[in-house]
Amino acid sequence: MKKALQIGGIAAGLVLVGFGIAAIVLGVKGGNTVNSNLSQEFITGTPDMTPSGIQPEVDAIKGEQQKIAVEQKKADVPASKQFTFTPVEAPSCSVAGEPVNDGNSALCFGRYMRIHALGASSGLTYSQMGQYAAKPDAPVQSTDFNGGTSDPKYAQIDPKTGKPVSNGARNLWVTETSLTTALNLAYTGSTISLFAVVVGVALLLSGIGFLILALSGAIGHVPFRKTA
């Protein structure tokens, strides 16, 4: 019985060591892949990507949101249809002039990109913007109060195609969201890689512990007790 338990302990230890090494290797490889792919994009933070540098734009966005809220009330837009604006705050991180080459810098850069996109849309999100560019004389109630409309009859028409002109701010938001999502995924991948390394180290240490106990004879040693 003791021999069988020792063999089982050794086998369990070897399995844990194997899984630990595999997890560490995969985690390191995954993290390196994320960092390598980011480096190949040659992304560098713009000078305003600091908490103090972006604050003027944050204040301007909040001002535009308040302006749109006032205009909606003046136009007697029902309270249920008035915009609930997305919160806008300056990130606490900074990537100004720094390369985006790891998960943390990617996440930080993405947060600043969102502020830039909100600056271009006057604080409106994709779902709040009109699909088309509105005519100058379009009824304000049929617009997003920022030059866009989702009603084709109030949209500007492209003379070449005869179709409504797309809302440029909305298209910019789509592009920004796609890039930000990719950056956030890079951060997620980097975090998962780090977690894999941590789990791998834990498995490796556990396996080594099992091997020590098994080889020292601690596993399988059952103290003899006299029974009455």
DSSP assignment of the chain equals -HHHHHHHHHHHHHHHHHHHHHHHHHHHHHHHHHHHHHHTTT-BB-TT-SHHHHHHHHHHHHHHHHHHHHHHHHTT--GGGS--PPP----S---BT-B--SHHHHHHHHHHHHHHHHHHTTT--GGGS-SEEBPTTS-GGGB-SSSEES-GGGB-B-TTT-SBPB-HHHHHHHHHHHHHHHHHHHHHHHHHHHHHHHHHHHHHHHHHHHHHHHHHT-TT--------
In a domain, 43, yes or no: yes
Mean pLDDT calculated for residue range 23-27: 95
In a domain, 22, yes or no: yes
In a domain, 19, yes or no: yes
Contact status, residue 133 vs residue 167, Cβ threshold 8 Å:
yes
Which residue pairs, CB below 8 angstroms and at least 24 apart, start in 31-38? Answer: 31/103, 31/189, 31/190, 31/193, 31/194, 31/197, 33/189, 34/102, 34/103, 34/186, 34/189, 34/190, 34/193, 35/101, 35/102, 35/103, 35/190, 37/186, 38/100, 38/101, 38/102, 38/105, 38/106, 38/186
CB atoms within 10 A of CB 4: 9
Between 24 and 13, the more confident residue is: 24
The confidence score (pLDDT) of residue 215 equals 81
In a domain, 38, yes or no: yes
The confidence score (pLDDT) of residue 9 equals 79
Q: Is the pLDDT of residue 156 over 70?
A: yes
* Residue 220 pLDDT class (50, 70, 90 cuts): low
Q: How far apart are the first and last CA of the chain?
A: 24
Full domain range(s) for residue 51:
2-82+105-129+167-216
Q: Is the pLDDT of residue 62 over 70?
A: yes
User: How high does pLDDT run on average in the chain?
Assistant: 92
pTM score of the predicted model: 0.86
Mean pLDDT calculated for residue range 212-222: 70
Q: Is the pLDDT of residue 225 over 60?
A: no
* Residue 77 pLDDT class (50, 70, 90 cuts): very high
Q: How many domains does the chain have?
A: 1
The confidence score (pLDDT) of residue 198 equals 96
Contact status, residue 148 vs residue 170, Cβ threshold 8 Å:
yes
In a domain, 226, yes or no: no
In a domain, 33, yes or no: yes
Between 22 and 214, the more confident residue is: 22
Q: Is the pLDDT of residue 226 over 80?
A: no
Q: Is the pLDDT of residue 10 over 90?
A: no
